[in-house]
Structure 1
Amino acid sequence: MNRFCKKNVRWILGVSLFFNILLAGVVCFYEIRTHNVQEMLTVLGWCNMDEKQRSGHYFIVDWAACVKKLNYKADVAFFGNSITANSNFQNYFTDIKIAEFGLHGDRVDGMIRRLPMLQSVNPDKIFVMAGINDLHRSSPETIVERYDKLLTLIHDSLPNAKIYVQSILPVNRVKEKLYASNDVIKETNVLIEECAKKHNCKFIDLNSVYIENGVLPDSLSFDGVHLTQPAYGRWAKVIKPYIYE
Structure 2
Amino acid sequence: MSYRRLLLAGDSLIEFYDWQVRFADRVVWNYGRAGETVEGLLSRVPAIINQVRPDFILLMSGTNNIGMDDYAFIPNYRKVIECFSAAFPDADIFINSLMPIRLPWLSKSAVPRVNGLLAKLASEKGVGFLNIYEYFLNQNGSSHQDCFLGDGVHLSEFGYARWAEVLEGRIGTL
**Which category describes the TM-score, using the shorter chain as reference length?**
0.7 to 0.9
Q: Among the aligned pairs, what percent are the same residue? A: 26
Matched, 1:114 2:114: no
2:12 and 2:35 in contact (8 A); partners too: yes
Per-residue deviation, 1:238: 0.8
- After superposition, the C-alpha distances for 1:135-186 in whole angstroms (9 at most, x for unaligned) are 11322xx22222112111111222222101110011123xxx25x3331110
Q: What is the CA RMSD across the aligned residues, in angstroms?
A: 1.6
Q: Secondary structure at the match of 2:168?
A: helix
Equivalent position to 1:150, from 80, 84, 109: 80
1: CA distance between counterparts of 2:170 and 2:144?
A: 26
2: CA distance between counterparts of 1:85 and 1:172?
A: 20
Per-residue deviation, 1:115: 0.8
Alignment of 1:210-225 (within 5 A): 210-212=136-138, 213-222=140-149, 223-225=151-153
Per-residue deviation, 1:76: 0.4
2: CA distance between counterparts of 1:209 and 1:84?
A: 17
Per-residue deviation, 1:217: 2.7
- After superposition, the C-alpha distances for 1:41-80 in whole angstroms (9 at most, x for unaligned) are xxxxxxxxxxxxxxxxxxxxxxxxxxxxxxxxx7001011
Q: Secondary structure at the match of 1:146?
A: helix
> Which 5+ residue runs of structure 2 have no aligned equivalent?
none
> Which 5+ residue runs of structure 1 have no aligned equivalent?
1-73
1: CA distance between counterparts of 2:158 and 2:17?
A: 10
Matched, 1:233 2:161: yes
1:84 and 1:102 in contact (8 A); partners too: yes
2: CA distance between counterparts of 1:129 and 1:219?
A: 21
2:146 and 2:158 in contact (8 A); partners too: no
Equivalent position to 1:123, from 50, 54, 59: 54
Counterpart of 2:171 in structure 1 is 243
Of Structure 1 and Structure 2, the greater strand share is in: 2
2: CA distance between counterparts of 1:181 and 1:88?
A: 31
Alignment of 1:154-169 (within 5 A): 154-169=84-99
2: CA distance between counterparts of 1:202 and 1:158?
A: 15
Matched, 1:133 2:60: no
Q: Which amino acid aligns with 1:125?
A: F
- After superposition, the C-alpha distances for 1:60-118 in whole angstroms (9 at most, x for unaligned) are xxxxxxxxxxxxxx700101101111112222211111111100110011001111343
Q: Secondary structure at the match of 1:172?
A: coil
2: CA distance between counterparts of 1:169 and 1:104?
A: 16
1: CA distance between counterparts of 2:56 and 2:146?
A: 30
1:182 and 1:214 in contact (8 A); partners too: no
Q: Which amino acid aligns with 2:137?
A: I
1: CA distance between counterparts of 2:102 and 2:160?
A: 17
Per-residue deviation, 1:195: 0.2
Change (3 A) 1:91 1:230: farther
1:76 and 1:123 in contact (8 A); partners too: yes
Q: Which amino acid aligns with 1:132?
A: T
Q: TM-score, normalised by structure 1?
A: 0.64
Q: Which amino acid aligns with 1:221?
A: F
1:92 and 1:236 in contact (8 A); partners too: yes
